[in-house]
């Protein structure tokens, strides 16, 4: 008995009602589907046994939390690949959720990139410069979220892209340069700083010598 190959699932997209009626006239009674509607229609012909499409982050490595500096000429690159994805997405949406609960769009196009893209470059410093009245990026941990045409809360669907929120990263900033002459220690103890004054040290040494000398005289 020979093994028969299992045919791959055929993806069908439903025909729109609008279009040419054969007489050279457009009947105009059809509507353009949204990306999500077309995606759902295509999924309907895929067997339930087919796994959902997954996103695997390839950059940065997920072995440890990556730290990125918010500074000029310090772009951040995120990269990924797809597994078991049968339905090509119209677009991908990327966002970073901060510890403050605010969601920041990731990338140069307000968080949306082509559905076939496998990487994005994000300039966090430029984002802050153009944030206007919106909250700016600050130091702390962030969670990267990526989703496709079915949205950030899409449930598992055969061949469809499943949202990914596995990557955590951190942003940090550096303090601006301050000349030494203008620097002040805001956490130093004022009493402790006196101990480093030469006159104060001399007085303490003199007092200690006098005390020890007097103690010897008393003991005699």
For residue 101, the domain's CATH number is: 2.60.40.2550
> Of all helices (H) and strands (E), which one includes residue 204?
helix 198-219
pLDDT band, very low/low/confident/very high, at 6 (cuts 50, 70, 90): very low
The pLDDT confidence band at residue 15, using thresholds 50, 70 and 90, is very low
Ordered strands of the 54-59 beta sheet: 54-59, 76-83, 119-122
Whether 20 is in a domain gets the answer: no
- Whether residue 53 lies inside any domain: the answer is yes
182 within some domain: no
Please tell me whether residue 212 adopts helix, strand or coil conformation: helix
pLDDT confidence of residue 13: 40
- The mean predicted confidence, pLDDT, of the chain is 81
Please name every residue paired with 53 in a beta bridge, in sequence order, or none if there are none: 161
CA-wise closest residue to 30 among 54, 14, 49, 50? 14
**Given this model, what pLDDT does residue 8 score?**
47
Residue 129 included in any domain: yes
User: Which is higher by pLDDT, 50 or 208?
Assistant: 50
pLDDT bucket at 218, cuts 50 / 70 / 90: low
**Half-sphere exposure (Cβ direction) of 1: Cα atoms closer than 13 Å:** 2
Give the total number of structural domains in the chain: 1
pLDDT band of residue 215 (cuts 50, 70, 90) is low
Examine residue 212 and state whether it is found in any structural domain, yes or no.
no
Inter-CA distances, 47 with 54, 175, 191, Å:
17, 56, 77
pTM for this predicted structure: 0.64
Domain membership of residue 90 (yes or no) is yes
pLDDT tens for 154-213 read 999 999 999 999 999 999 998 777 677 776 766 666 555 555 566 666 777 787 777 777
39 within some domain: yes
Residue 210 pLDDT: 79
Q: Is 155 exposed, middle or buried (0-12, 13-18, 19+ CB in 10 A)?
A: exposed
Range of the domain at 137: 35-172
């Amino acid at each position: 008995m020979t093994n028969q190959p299992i045919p791959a699932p055929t993806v069908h997209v439903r025909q729109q009602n609008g279009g040419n009626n054969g007489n050279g006239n457009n009947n105009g009674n059809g509507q353009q589907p949204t990306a999500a509607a077309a995606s759902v229609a295509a999924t309907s012909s895929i067997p339930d046994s087919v796994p959902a499409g997954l996103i695997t982050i390839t950059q940065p490595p997920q072995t440890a939390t990556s730290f990125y500096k918010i500074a000029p000429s310090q772009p951040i690159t995120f990269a990924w690949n797809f597994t078991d994805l049968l339905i090509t997405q119209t677009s991908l949406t990327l966002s970073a959720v901060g510890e403050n609960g605010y969601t920041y769009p990731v990338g140069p196009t307000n968080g949306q990139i082509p559905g076939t893209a496998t990487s994005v470059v994000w300039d966090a410093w430029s984002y802050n410069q153009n944030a206007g009245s919106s909250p700016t990026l600050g130091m702390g941990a962030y969670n990267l979220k990526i989703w496709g045409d079915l949205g950030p809360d899409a449930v598992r669907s055969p061949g469809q892209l499943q949202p990914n929120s596995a990557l955590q990263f951190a942003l940090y900033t550096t303090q601006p340069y301050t000349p030494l002459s203008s620097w002040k220690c805001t956490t130093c103890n004022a009493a402790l700083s006196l101990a480093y004054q030469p006159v104060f040290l001399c007085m303490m040494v003199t007092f200690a010598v006098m005390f020890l000398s007097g103690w010897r005289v008393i003991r005699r």
